[in-house]
Each structure stands twice: as structure tokens, then as C-alpha cells.
Amino acid sequence: MTGLRWGILATGGIAGAFASDLRAAGLDLVAVGSRSQESADAFAATHGIAPDHAHPSYEALVADPDVDIVYVSTPHPMHHANARLALEAGMHVLVEKAFTVNRAEAADLQSLAAERGLLVTEAMWTRYLPQMIRMRELIAEGALGEIRTVSASHTQLLPDDPAHRLNALELGGGALLDLGIYPLSFVWDVLGAPTTIQAAGRLVETGADSEVATVMTHAGGVVSTTFSSSRAAGANTAVILGTKARIEIEPAWSASSRLRLIAPDGTVLEEIGGPLPEGGPRGMQHEAHAAERLVREGRLEGDLMPIADSVAIMGMLDEIRAQIGVRYPSEEEHHG
């Protein structure tokens, strides 16, 4: 098998961005599934998918014999059911972040995929960027010396309409799952699991979080801080401070981010990244290539975004939500 045949489940903005990157990278996008034929047809026409592979339901998409792997791009609360649908149909699955809404759902997908011998992995696309690959190399080489602290933020000025996806609890709304997942996953990537978690947040009238801050400790006493907001736009930076040097990434959650390795006296020792070439993919193709490589090699667990990490990170988010008082309606249904 030279390449996998991709199907996209749902037709929102992130699905369009992913489809464009697949096309620009020369990967094989063959099908789309939506909740309506009209939406599927429009998406197919935009992204060069044959009309007979534009499906009016998610069930029809996962029944398509020409699809090997499904990208799930629905809102967070639907990820679990949609990924389960694809796994039960024998498809490999790439699930948009946040992976699910809680640890229990994530663990269920992990066990189902293992049982079926299929790949399920989280589309934390920034982990696969060349800048982030280089960051890990620098840390492994000891270029930073002893890491003392990691700080990262993700803030955007997003709509405050209570019915908007970002503010509706029934759609998994809130800054944490949509924006905070980036800096929190980044901190986990650099430092591993936290040993202590302290979180503070501000909730809007719908009960969703608009701001979340964390202070955590990790192995060896290393301290991390993160901040996310859906009501204000900031620089969105990530900084790793070491005794020999520091790494600064800005804007951190972008394929055009710039990574700098900086000495304590301010000398820039290395710089990579920056603006992308016109007309090329925006960065989501790296995670697709990685998924294809894992399947080709017969591996069910990735190095850069292991499913075990996704499950554990959802557990960390569960604890943060418990501390700030955010609970989703779907959890009430399951747990009373």
C-alpha cells in the first residue's frame, strides 16, 4: 500500500482546511460524509471528490469500500461516537483535537482500536510541525541545559454569541477544549504528566469557560504555566526556559511559527520557521503523513502523539474542568 484513501467526516471549516492540505500535499482524498446530501455535494465539488463519494450520512461514509482512513472533524462531543462508528466499520481514524470530551471516552476509543487492530490518533497537528520536531531535538541534545519552567498561551477573540459552538456547553464549548488544549498538550509534550495541577477559570453565562489558567508541577519539580482565552487575542507564545538557553516559539500554534534558541545574554543561537510558501499546505499534512506511515509500518501507536498520551491528557483536562466547575450535558446523561 503506497498511500491511504482518506474520507472526511463532517464538512465544517476545519474539515475544509484539512482537505485543502491533503490535496496540496498530494495525498489521496476520495470521500466525504455529511448529515445532508447538499452539504456533502458542495464539499465534494470544492475539494475534487467524485460525486458518487459524496455521502449524505456518516454511516454511508464508513461503509464506502474505497475509504481506508477517516478524519473526524465534528464538534468535540460527537468525536467519541463518530470515531467509534468508523472503528467498528474497520477504518483507521484521525480524530480532531480535543480527542474527546473526557478521559472515559478517550480510553474507550483506545481499547476499541486495540481490539480491532486499527490506528486511532489525535489530530494535534502542531506536534508534527518541523519547528516542534527541532524543539525536541534541541532538548534531547541538552542545548537548554536543565529545564526550569515552561509557559504557553493560546488566546483568540471569538464570537460571544451564547449559541455559538465555543459558548454552548452541549457542543463542548469553552476555551479549554478548543484553545487550552494546545498549550496544555505542548507542556505535556515537553515535561510529561503533571504531578500537581492548580487551575483557575472564568465562566460565561452559558456555563462555558472563557478563560482558564493553570500552574502545574512536573517530574523534578519543574513548573509550567498555561493560559487560554476565547474573549481576547494575544501573542500566543510558548517559552521553555533552561539553565543554558531558552526556546521561544511565536506564534506557537501556527505552521508559520518561528522557533528561536536564545542564550541567556540574548544572543540568538538558532532560528527556524517563519512564513510558508504561497499556495502550499498550511501544516495539517504532516499529521496525515504520520498516520499513513504508522499504518504502513503496522504500528497502532505514534511517537509524536501516542494514544496513551491523548487519554491521559483528557484526564488532565477532566481535573482542570472539575477545579473550575465545567461539566458537559453529555456527562450528566451518562453519570446522572
Residue 160: Cβ within 10 Å count: 13
Q: How far is residue 222's CA from residue 211's CA, in Å, rounded to a whole number?
A: 24
What is the per-residue burial (b if ≥16 Cβ within 10 Å, else e) of 268-292? eeeeebeeeeeeebebbbbbbebbb
Determine whether 97 is an active site residue: yes
Alpha-carbon distances of 207 from 102, 174, 234, rounded to whole Å = 17, 9, 23
Residues 107, 113: Cα–Cα separation, whole Å: 10
Q: Which residue in the list 47, 55, 97, 246 is annotated as catalytic?
A: 97
**Is the bond preceding residue 98 a cis peptide, omega within 30 degrees?**
yes
**Cα 237 to Cα 66: distance, rounded to the nearest angstrom:** 41
Residues in contact with 102: Cβ distance below 8 Å, sequence separation at least 6, in sequence order: 314, 317, 318, 328, 331
Q: Are strands 54-55 and 28-33 parallel, antiparallel or unpaired?
A: parallel
The HSE-up count of residue 59 (CA atoms within 13 Å, CB side) is: 0
For the chain, helix, strand, coil in percent to 5 are 40, 25, 35
Rounded to whole angstroms, how far apart are CA atoms 66 and 318?
A: 37
First-to-final CA distance of the chain: 47
Largest CA distance in the chain: 61
**Active site positions, annotated:** 97
